[in-house]
Amino acid sequence: MRAPLLRMSGLHKRFGTRVLFDGAELALEAGHGYVLSGANGCGKTTLLRMIAGLEASLHGTLEFRAQPATTARYPEAWRREIVYVHQQPYLFHTTTEKNLEYGLARRGVPPVERQARVREALEWAGLADRSDVPPHKLSGGEAQRAALARAKLLNPALLLLDEPTANLDGNARKQVLDLVTALCIDDHTVLIASHDPEIMRLAILDRLTLAERRIVVE
């Protein structure tokens, strides 16, 4: 059997005396989409941050593409392949277009190709007419769509989405839901922390629940 794309084992995490994970195990298969649910404060964001190398644990190992590491010594090379989209979209104070272009420039993609890929991603996210707009002038839904487009452009091996539809309603939520659905159908490996019933209902997602310091596969 093929090794999972990502495996975490023996994971321990605490903040002060509050133990969040105690020997938690998780395996994500390539090409699958997962929704991670669980009560407020149970550790969904913390788990995503650990997978993204933004939060260390005292014990436990991570394996990505069968390469082992610890969350305390997170390999820099993984950061290009594992992309985390914050719940509050984190956009730089420049235009939407430049926000999308930045990661490609850092990866050495030539300018002409960069511009073509950015244009395509802006269209995918329905933001073609917002390319010159700075992030503080985008609506919440537009900012979330820009963050999703920027992540998709980087073609990550593993995409981590933290509550992509939180704080959105009506059409803004529906537009983000459509993009999230497209990303999941598109053969990406995606882990979405969410308790949005629409996301939890997506048949294309495998279900994970954080319960009692464990990760339960349903």
- Work out whether 71 is an interface residue with ligand ATP (CB under 6 A): no
* CA distances in angstroms from 61 to 56, 80, 179, 200, listed in the order given: 11, 19, 32, 28
User: Whose CA is closest to 90, among 55, 123, 136?
Assistant: 136
Output 13 or 114, the one with its CB closest to ligand ATP. 13
The correct pick among 40, 112, 201, 203 for binding ligand ATP (CB under 6 A) is 40
- Work out whether 44 is an interface residue with ligand ATP (CB under 6 A): yes
Output 83 or 127, the one with its CB closest to ligand ATP. 83
Map residues 35-54 to x or -, x wherever contact with Mg ion holds by CB under 5 A. Answer: ---------xx---------
- Work out whether 46 is an interface residue with ligand ATP (CB under 6 A): yes
Output 43 or 100, the one with its CB closest to ligand ATP. 43
Which residues make up the interface to ligand ATP (CB under 6 A)? Answer: 15, 18, 20, 38, 40-46
